[in-house]
Amino acid sequence: MNTITLPKNQYVQILSTQEKLRNDLTRLEKIVSFIAQDEVDQAYITRLSKIEKGLSLGKGIKFKNKSVIKKFFNSL
């Protein structure tokens, strides 16, 4: 296992970013389910729910670069 050292402010920034993403996914799930209940595939809502639950449990998704992030969100 590798250990890295981060300044406290950078660590706090990472935690706040994770919390923002968690909240954004939750809001997105609620908006999508409310606006387009009949038009959106249930599998999509289920997938968003799984991602949100994983983030809530402290699990994360690691991305190597910006293009991988774009591909991930486009695949949703």
12-38 tens-digit pLDDT? 999 899 889 888 888 888 887 777 767
Write down the pLDDT at residue 13. 92
Q: If pLDDT is split at 50, 70 and 90, which confidence band does 1 have?
A: low
CA gap 62, 68 in Å, rounded = 10
pLDDT at 73 over 80: no
